Structure 1
Amino acid sequence: MAGPILEIKDVKKSFHRGSQSEILVLDDISLSLNEGEVVCLLGKSGSGKSTLLRIIAGLIQPSNGFRYYKQQPAFGGVKNLSMVFQHFALLPWMSVLENVELGLESSGMSTTDRRDKALKAIDMVGLDGFESAYPKELSGGIAQRVGLARALVVDPEIMLLDEPFSALDILTAENLRGDLINLWTSKKTNLKSMLIVTHNIEEAVYMADRILIFGSDPGKVKSEMRIDLAHPRDDKDEEMAELVDQVYQTIAEVNFQAKRAGMRFRTIRLGHMLPSVPVSNITGLLEFLVSGDGSEHAELSEVAEEMHLGLDEILPVAEAVEILRFATVSGGRFQLTPTGDGFAKASILDQKKLFARQLLDHVPVAVYVRGTLENVENHTMHESELLGVLQEKMSEVASRRVLRTIVDWGRYAELFAYNVNSGVLSLEDP
């Protein structure tokens, strides 16, 4: 085939907040899917990957940009494309067979032909014997196999998968990944290309021929890596481990290049989307870095492995320690600051004092809350006031996440109290 089987160009997506300004979620994204390749879109949760996948599928429309199928403009759904969702999306009142047949309802096919194709798809994903079972009887792994069968029953050329293994336990996810790759390499289907959204680095390296690394705020493809390894791949192989380290390095560069040239630290404003990181994760990371293991293994990938943190955990905590000036991330490696080193070695009470100082010096939303509480007569404010300020810069959902984070950090630092029942922030616990 001369060109890509599917392509998007200059795609943007923004959402309105009533009469307020728009929130830009995706910005200037162009990517292509070629025949014979598995592409993984890798990035942290909340970066807009799933929104992009739905635009590619034709489920939602972009604010700007174009989509092409076999070099022709595509509008709405693409006939030879199917999608697998993260949370199975099975209809509970239908059996496995009926759920798979559902993918053919609009095809105009006879009942007999639909049944035959559904049975073949069920056989293809190893579900023989489960045809009459209902979703409530199925484990997560079996339910996701039903989702795969329903996507395959339409004999698609392109399959989009939205974090298809993230809701599964480790062993089940590993088995299903292997089975999907075996199905892909066996050529038993009409599949020409797969695009998989994930935040699992090992999964991306195991499955992909090409990895697109996604940045956030707004979402954008920031980097591309080719994985020139034949399938099947051994995740214990040394070359695989080296590639995982390279991906971590690239992700670190993508996520921490927002600092201005020549600046060591990340400076934020009042409307910054604070990472949702509990204080325990921050203190745990700093205490690890100051230990013997941490001083020897400060690479992002090594820290994640040693502390048993996934990508969605290590990146937010890395951003948090940078914001608080406890550590920097440069070249994919953590480096403690003197403040961070002192914090890790301090007593619990001194840690609280240091944390409070860093909050008031470097986190504007903490300064806003503390300043407001000090300046009003009864030294209280309702959370709705803070949410109103935050929603001028971000969505309601994002604002509530920031509220939860600053409440957690502020309580720990003893800067203010919060009553979850009344939604009131105060200088002292009521």
Structure 2
Amino acid sequence: MAFTAEWQPGARLWETKNYGRYDEVDFVRTFLGRDQVYVPVKNVLVFETSEGFYRTNPFMKQTMDSLHYNGIEIIAFDMGSYGKEETYREILCNCGYSYIQKIALASAFGKSRLGFSFSREMVKRYSGTGKKYGMISDHLDLFAKKQRIDFIRYPSPASYPERYYFSRFPKREEKFFQNFLNEQLFNGTVKESRGYHFGFAFEGILIYSFCRFLKQRSQAEKIDTLYFTAASDLLFQVYSLLYPQDSAETIYIWNRTERGEELDQYLKGKIKNDAILVDFSLDQRWKLDLSECLGVVKVLNLCDFMGENGVRRYGKYIEKAISMLGKSDFFVERYENGLPIWSRKKISVKEIRNEQEIQRGVLEFAEQFRECQKEAEEQKKVIMLENPDFVGQILRYAFDEVRRKRSHPDPVQILMQSKTAKKSKEYLKNIYRRIKGK
């Protein structure tokens, strides 16, 4: 099992695991009556998705808003690696924390780390005497424990041993995507369905990248009209969401629609010559049939996007991903006298519902990731994820149960969970009991 979802083979659904989700009311209840709360900037208030690109922690934003609304002063602290106080203030303001005015940086205190000494000096300066305060941190704070103050540990997505894990040393684009998923799926107060998580984490990047590929091809060939087969309905929705100014239309044909003169007449009557017909599949036979019928009209499918090598390496994973979106029960069996003759394939309500949730996850991924990329491009930090090999690796990871079940703890977690650490802890406890007994 990895990050937030576990595949249930019998049900063909994804089991959601509810990591890192808390009710902000618990935070407000804990600190109500306090004058101040100290909160780390990095990994709690904001995430650095890629170098110099900062995003709001969606859950902590809601919590901080609630604390501010209740008149509790928020003091942000960090090492100072992002720059001076003005830089931090600008980052926090851009992330929606305009009400945070006090910022404590370890570098300004002459400290090399966020340790006990820094916390003591920080509290002495900003709280003085008489002010009641609490602390939030992404790790256990020894100062808070010694002072016996109200303290809440917020587990950042980076600390989860079973988070979405692409590789140990990801490239810049891979890190951007990996952090984006972890931040979105580990935070928030709403527990989403199993299908939603699969659509958001895996199906989304396939459809999003294919849409970007289609846009590039249409621009290169100066074509502004795209037609989508009915089986490509979700692709059509995402493309229309990303490029609303383009002309896009659905053609009601499936690869199981009966071929013949009637179908040819329908296609020639509906599709203009200066257009592209898109099919969300790897079915080259179906593409050839459409090309022979339409002649000059270009027909594109996932094989054009992935390339020959990509299809050979990742074809079976792409087919699985497509099959999870191909649960439409109604389809056109054939055309007669220009009219469609509909048929129905029996599909369970559970499968239909799961597909709907996957589609919702894909649509939200496309919308959120578009905004994320847009912000990155505005900051001249262009992140390109249309690489077919990258998409193929994501899908291979999605269906690799062994790899997804493997945990990836950081060195500190490995040390704390080791037998030596446990024995040392028990040894120290025994010494403490003996001393206390005397």
TM-score by length of 1: 0.27
Question: Which structure carries more helix by proportion?
Answer: 2
- Bigger Rg, structure 1 or 2: 2
Which structure carries more relative contact order (alpha carbon 8 Å, separation 6+)?
2
